[in-house]
Amino acid sequence: MGVASKRQSSLASCEAANVGVRGTRNGYCSACRMDAIDTVAVGHSTNLVGIPTGLLGSIAFNEHPLPLHISGARDTSPALWSMLDDSTCIEGCLEAFRLYMEAAFDIGPTPNGQGVHRYRSHYRLLLQGWGFDSNSPQGAVLKGWVESRFGLIPTFHKQTLGRYPSAAWMGYLQEKMSGRYHNNAIHLQLDMLYEFCQWMLARRIAPGESHMTLYRGVNDFEEHHIVSRISKREAVVRQNNLVSFSARREVAEQFGDVILEVRVPLVKVVFFAGLLSGSVLSSEGEYLVLGGDYQVRMSYY
């Protein structure tokens, strides 16, 4: 019996026993350890960056990245890029972005005594929520934005997102479309954040560079979705569609005794500590990175 036939037979046995996705732990079938997520594509067939999602989520793309731009994002904001081009320092760029976003999306401070305060979602609010809990409703909106723009499907939100439909998927969909955080053109705000991040990396932070080494601490590596093993200390692992890393190994060590070291293409960086004025995700040197398959090197704390 071929590998594909064995996999289909094993999955069928799990379903017959009512194990299915409900019996998996972070993607692994508790009965036969077959990977339930293997039958789920890395992403949707369409996206807004003009590169096939299967390629975007592959280690081949990570090794040989291509430029990424969200369709229409820069064309709708010529004033911002003009302001950035005129800025002479990093602080000036941060201030230009803040002022533009406040004016374009009406998210600045409300003048005292002028009208009724109306709740408006904004990108900083989502980042702050992610910092407390990546499985929060704010985290769901961020993962939904990655789905919409880059086509990458999330693999985890509060629990494993295996085959669709399921209770786990319904909970995620409800949170990502919740009106509390999914309003005020929030996807367009995040488009601007990503494009600003890419502009800063290319022009101010790492001009001429294509990759950076980042770290992530985990407690049980075997619970992660391992696509393939290369050696005892190296493997290809499928990350969630949006995932946190740190630029500092000593910070990653605080989150787990297994340290994943990853070489990340800069075009997959959505946010990094220091991109915004203030203290948004700054204490841990955090990077938010698009997911997919990554070749990781494992070491132990």
- Structural domain containing residue 83: 78-300
Whether 71 shows a pLDDT value over 80: the answer reads: yes
Tell me: do 2 and 101 sit in the same domain.
Answer: no
Q: Residue 110: its pLDDT value, please?
A: 64
What mean pLDDT value characterizes the chain?
85
Tell me: do 2 and 127 sit in the same domain.
Answer: no
Q: Residue 127: its pLDDT value, please?
A: 96
Residue range 125-163, pLDDT digits in tens? 999 999 999 999 999 999 999 999 999 999 999 999 988
Residue range 23-38, pLDDT digits in tens? 333 333 333 333 444 4
Q: In this structure, is residue 32 part of a structural domain?
A: yes
Tell me: do 24 and 155 sit in the same domain.
Answer: no
Q: In this structure, is residue 52 part of a structural domain?
A: no
Tell me: do 184 and 281 sit in the same domain.
Answer: yes
| Beta pairing partners, 298 | 260
Q: Residue 15: its pLDDT value, please?
A: 36
Average pLDDT over residues 91-118: 81
Whether 192 shows a pLDDT value over 70: the answer reads: yes
Distance CA 78, CA 63 (A): 32
Q: What is the pTM of this model?
A: 0.85
Residue range 230-286, pLDDT digits in tens? 999 999 999 999 999 999 999 999 999 899 999 999 999 999 999 998 878 877 789
Closest CA to 37 of 231, 242, 289, 224: 224
Tell me: do 149 and 15 sit in the same domain.
Answer: no
Q: In this structure, is residue 45 part of a structural domain?
A: no
Tell me: do 13 and 131 sit in the same domain.
Answer: no
Whole-number percent of the chain with pLDDT over 70: 83
Q: Residue 281: its pLDDT value, please?
A: 82
Q: Residue 8: its pLDDT value, please?
A: 42
Q: Residue 147: its pLDDT value, please?
A: 97
Q: In this structure, is residue 61 part of a structural domain?
A: no
Contacts of 173-178 with C-beta under 8 Å, sequence gap 24+, read 175/137, 175/140, 175/141, 176/140, 176/141, 176/143, 176/144, 177/144, 178/137, 178/140, 178/141
Domain total in the chain: 2
DSSP helix/strand/coil, 160: strand
Residue range 207-234, pLDDT digits in tens? 999 999 999 999 877 778 899 999 999 9
Tell me: do 145 and 85 sit in the same domain.
Answer: yes
Distance CA 124, CA 134 (A): 14
